Structures are given as structure tokens and as C-alpha cells.
Amino acid sequence: MSNVLVIAEQSRGTLRKATLSALTAAREVARRTGGGVSALVLGSGAGAAAEELAAHGVPVRLADAPVLAHPLAEAHAPVVAEAARAAGASWVVTAATSYGKDLLPRAAVALGAAVATEVLAIAGDGGEILLRRPMWAGNVIAEVELRTAVKAFSVRPTEFAPAARAPGGSVTPMAVAVDAASLGTRFVELQEVKSERPELTDARVVVAGGRGTKGDFGPLSALADDLGAAVGASRAAVDAGWVPNDWQVGQTGKVVAPDLYVAAGISGAIQHVAGMKGAKVIVAINKDADAPIFQIADYGLVADLFQAVPALRERLKAG
């Protein structure tokens, strides 16, 4: 029997949706090993997020203290380790978001746990758990077994359906013994990107541009606004300084799985495709009929994006 602890992610008391995908993965491990699932919410003023998570049928420990106000891995990791011990957890699971990627290795060290990151699926039988994770930009899927007494992994939120609401949850406060003065790191500033558009990783529709935009994201942004979409970009566009870093989709950017992904002026390099091939429908607009993006596109348009995108908007407006 293996108890599983989910580390939640919240911001200003709002639960991040990715946590519900981690909960689904945790339940899958528990189902296969016969254990129970509980969760941990950390923060300051995070009670609403804990209640929201509990509404998904899970017992939640709430570590609420000023020292946890900011997502500093150094402050959060000892609390995760303590909660894992209290829960008798032999698995610790979180979403592979910036927060999870930062926190999990440090928490795992504190627990002497082996770690698998960016898990896509859970396999194995007879109580044995095998974790499927991408290697080499997703060209190889490895199946790994963690052999330490406590095991930790992060999941790609796009690969696990968010857990549905369910009865039976609860919230229990836990004492936090972290002393702010003992920390070697200090929170200085959070520069938040404010946007009317949806968050890239949560968006139902993503309109993305690459080097082919030549730095003019105007037509793509207008299309995104028509569709209520987030705007994404290839690394070439980000490296050129045309758009912010957090728009980057791909191996070293964000992994997205929207219902619709429009790739305009993007060649379809494997490192880009690694971040968007989970999209349900892919539309590619590229001048070059041999561009690799057409190999994975459901709909391909060999065209100049500066003509095709405005024409597309006209057609959408005409209904």
C-alpha cells in the first residue's frame, strides 16, 4: 500500500488547474498500489485554494504562514517533506509547472526520493509502477521505475484530465516550523505579465507565430483576440526579442494541448513540436510547402501569413 501526496499550486488563494491533473495522476498510482491520496496546499492566505481542492474529494493539509507567501522552493520544501512524513506518503506528485519544477527536486532531496519529471502516463501492473516520460525532445518515451522508499514525480498537466469535483474532502491546518531568518534566499520582486488573454497553458485556442512573422505579431494577435485565444511563439521569435519569453512553446518553453493550435510562419522543428503536438487540431500556415509543420498539421495552408491571416479573420467575421 502506498499513500500518495499531491503538492498543490495556488496563487492568491486561487487553485491552479494543473493541480487537478496531478490529482488524477496521484489517484492512478493509488489505484494501482491500493493506497490513499491526500494533498498539501502551501501559501499565505491560501485557505480558499485548499477548500477548492477539498471540493474534489481529497483530504487537504493547509500550510498557511507568511513565510510561505512566495513560491520559494527553499521555504516550501521542508514543509512538503514534513507533510509527506505525516501522511505516510511513499509517493509525492506535483504538476510540471514552473513552481513544481523548482520545488520537487528540493523536496525530493529532503525525503531521499528518486524523481521522474514531466511524466506523461502511468503504466505497470501487480503493484509495480512504471512512469512514462519524454527524452530527447519527445523523440523517445522512456519507461522508468523509481526504486527509493519514497518516490517523487511531476506530471505534464496536458496529459492527465483534471479531476472532477467529488464529495468527501476536508481541510486540516498544519503547523509551519520554517524560520524566515534561516533561509538563504529572499523574495525580491515578482514581475507579473498582465494580459487580457487567457494563460497560454490553460487556453482552449493558441495562435502562435515564428520567424516567418519577421517580428510583426499584429495580424496573429488580432486573430487571437477574435478567437479569445492565447498567443504563442517559436523560440526563434522569442530569441529575436520580438515577443516575451513566456510566450515560447516547445521543449524549452511551455507545453500546451489546446483544442486548436494555429502555427503561422513556424517551420515545425522538433523542439517546437514537442510543446504543441498534443493539440487536438493543428492548423499550419507556411509559405514553404515542404515545411515539417505540415507533417503534423490537420489543416495546412501554403500561403503568406500576412495575406492568409487577415483573409481568415474576414471569413470568421462573415460567419
- Beta strands 89-95 and 59-64 are unpaired
Shortest distance in whole angstroms from residue 15 CB to ligand FAD: 27
Which DSSP helix (H) or strand (E) runs through 96?
A: none
| Contact string 243-282 vs ligand FAD (x = CB under 6 A) | -----x-xxxx-----------xxx-x-xx--x-------
Residue 170, sorted as left (phi over 0), alpha (psi -120 to 50) or beta, turns out to be: beta
Rank residues 132 and 211 by Cβ distance to ligand FAD and give the closer one.
Answer: 211
- Among positions 291, 294, 297, 312, the unique one binding ligand FAD when judged by CB under 6 A: 291
Single out the segment in contact with ligand FAD by CB under 6 A; choices: 11-19, 47-55, 56-64, 209-217: 209-217
Q: Which residues pair with 173 in a beta bridge?
A: 62
Select 253 or 300, whichever has its Cβ closest to ligand FAD: 253
Cβ closest to ligand FAD, residue 37 vs residue 249: 249
Contact 32, 123 (CB under 8 A): no
Tell me which stretch binds ligand FAD (CB under 6 A): 101-109, 127-135, 187-195, 299-307. 299-307
- Three-state secondary structure readout of 111-164: HCCEEEEEECEEECCCCCCEEEEEECCCCEEEEECCCCCCEEEEECHHHCCCCC
Q: Is residue 312 near ligand FAD by the rule CB under 6 A?
A: no
Residue the block writes with cell 513540436: 273
Chain residues that interact with ligand FAD, rule: CB under 6 A:
210-212, 234-237, 248, 250-253, 265-267, 269, 271-272, 275, 285-288, 291, 304-306
